[in-house]
Homo-oligomer: A and B are copies of this chain.
Amino acid sequence: MKNRSYICLVVAFMLAGTCRFASGQPPRGQLVISPQVNPDKTVTFRYMAPSAKDVKLSAQFEKGPVAMAKGDNGMWSITVGPVKPDIYPYNFIVDGIQVMDPGNVAFFPNERFKASLVDIPGETPLIHSMQDVPHGTITYTGYTSKTMNGIYRPLVVYTPPGYEKNPQKKYPVLYLISGTTDTEETWYKVGRANLILDNLIAQGKAVPMIIVMPYGNNFIEISGPASPDVVPMYQTYSNELINDIIPFCEKNFRITADREHRAVAGFSRGGGQSLWAGLSNTDKFAYICSFSAYLTKEAFEQHFTSFYSNPEVTNKNMKLFWLSIGNEDFLYKQAAEFIDLLKTKNITTRTLITTGGHTWMNCKLFLSEAAPLLFK
């Protein structure tokens, strides 16, 4: 009797954890282990769906969806790789429906799609990995945006190791913007900006800095980064950065508030926003970084005459003008043309062309390579 009441309670307790959201879950005691990164860098993915007819793995390290095999117990699985160590988005396609990995808490914050993350460690720790070094802290906060008609806008802020222990010390600041459909969390949870800086600082490669990760969407629909309607979006975001985000951050964090200690960088749409905000405000930013983005020749020549008309002054004035992109990125051609355009105008740039596409794998690499050049 007592045992039976235990059993009822056990079942109830099980269900409590999963409420009405238990799809794809096996009975307690047979929890799905997915993803499972194996010692040889192969990865095993599992998804419990006894009634599903077709389950595929969709992962950014694969060219396309890969069929998974169904086991007798209704557990679908596949082992892929070896996979190059990195962090990759993935999900499952279950009878045509894309789903996150139910038991994996590592997710990709995004406004459009739902993806899980798999982290394949390197033989030697990768720059974005959690290592035994001093860690900075991440603060979730927000500000009321005058530019956006008084709405509350979220911010994620990285303060470096030692920030709390040195209450008098001020730090340089990097404003780091994410891409289309990303959120203010994406540079933290997918880009690992905090761990990359923890490790670079511990290795003496980067100076301790504050990183401000704003929400990049100001709800002005654009057709694409080369479309004529991109300018008002860039301009509005530049206004929000200058008039809302920077004043809030300089009021609430110990930031050295001058152009020599202020950088702006971003990925994809955020790269375009960084280019626009930086080039529009060279009196406020000595460092501008574009990751996987560009400006059109027309927009650059029309709006930034003063920037390129006297390259000697500009090159002396800018401490860093960084542009990087993967040679498989769908924006590669346009980004390369922009780099060439700057060359023809004798503007000094630091450029990095990598393999790979418009991905957060490249994005982490770009931050890892550009951050050591900041504030030196």
Binding site for B on A (CB under 8 A): 5-6, 9-10, 12-25, 29, 49, 51-52, 58, 60, 64-65, 89, 91, 93-100, 102-103, 105, 107-115, 130, 135, 137-142, 152, 164, 167, 179-181, 183, 188, 221, 223-227, 252, 268, 330-331, 334, 358-359
The residues of B that contact A51 with a CB separation of less than 8 Å are 96
Closest CB-CB distance, A316 to chain B, in whole Å?
A: 35
Say whether B95 contacts A95, CB under 8 Å. Answer: yes
Q: Which of A65, A95, A334 has the most CB of B within 10 A?
A: A95
Minimum CB distance partner of A225 in chain B = B13
> Which one of B29, B64, B94, B180 contacts A13 once the chains associate, using CB atoms below 8 Å?
B180
Say whether A141 contacts B152, CB under 8 Å. Answer: no
Measured in the bound complex, the distance between the Cα atoms of B191 and A19 in whole Å is 16
> Which one of B22, B98, B138, B226 contacts A141 once the chains associate, using CB atoms below 8 Å?
B138
Say whether B180 contacts A16, CB under 8 Å. Answer: yes
Say whether A9 contacts B224, CB under 8 Å. Answer: yes
What are 28 A-B pairs at a CB distance below 8 A? A6-B223, A6-B224, A6-B226, A9-B334, A12-B224, A12-B330, A12-B331, A13-B223, A16-B180, A16-B331, A17-B112, A17-B113, A17-B180, A19-B60, A19-B113, A19-B359, A21-B108, A22-B98, A22-B112, A22-B113, A24-B97, A25-B112, A25-B113, A99-B99, A99-B114, A105-B109, A130-B152, A164-B252
Q: A25-B112, A105-B110 are in contact. Are A181 and B96 (CB under 8 A)?
A: no
Measured in the bound complex, the distance between the Cα atoms of B114 and A337 in whole Å is 43
Given contacts A9-B224, A18-B113, A140-B188, 7 further A-B contacts (CB under 8 A): A9-B227, A13-B223, A16-B180, A20-B64, A21-B108, A21-B110, A138-B141
Say whether B107 contacts A107, CB under 8 Å. Answer: yes
Say whether B94 contacts A97, CB under 8 Å. Answer: yes
Majority-rule SS of A interface residues:
loop
Say whether A98 contacts B227, CB under 8 Å. Answer: no
Q: A110-B105, A330-B12, A330-B15 are in contact. Are A20 and B60 (CB under 8 A)?
A: yes
> Which one of B103, B226, B330 contacts A16 once the chains associate, using CB atoms below 8 Å?
B330
Measured in the bound complex, the distance between the Cα atoms of B329 and A12 in whole Å is 10
Minimum CB distance partner of A32 in chain B = B112
> Which one of B89, B112, B137 contacts A103 once the chains associate, using CB atoms below 8 Å?
B112
Say whether A102 contacts B107, CB under 8 Å. Answer: no
Closest CB-CB distance, A133 to chain B, in whole Å?
A: 11
Minimum CB distance partner of A167 in chain B = B167
Measured in the bound complex, the distance between the Cα atoms of B330 and A111 in whole Å is 35
Top 3 A-B pairs ranked by shortest CB distance? A21-B113, A23-B98, A17-B181
Say whether B100 contacts A97, CB under 8 Å. Answer: no
Say whether A16 contacts B112, CB under 8 Å. Answer: no
Measured in the bound complex, the distance between the Cα atoms of B17 and A358 in whole Å is 10
Say whether A113 contacts B107, CB under 8 Å. Answer: no
Closest CB-CB distance, A209 to chain B, in whole Å?
A: 18
Minimum CB distance partner of A334 in chain B = B9
Closest CB-CB distance, A279 to chain B, in whole Å?
A: 21
Say whether B268 contacts A16, CB under 8 Å. Answer: yes
Measured in the bound complex, the distance between the Cα atoms of B257 and A295 in whole Å is 55
Say whether A58 contacts B102, CB under 8 Å. Answer: no
Q: Which of A96, A108, A142, A164 has the most CB of B within 10 A?
A: A96
Minimum CB distance partner of A5 in chain B = B226
Measured in the bound complex, the distance between the Cα atoms of B27 and A112 in whole Å is 12
The residues of B that contact A268 with a CB separation of less than 8 Å are 16
The residues of B that contact A89 with a CB separation of less than 8 Å are 19, 21
Say whether B9 contacts A225, CB under 8 Å. Answer: yes
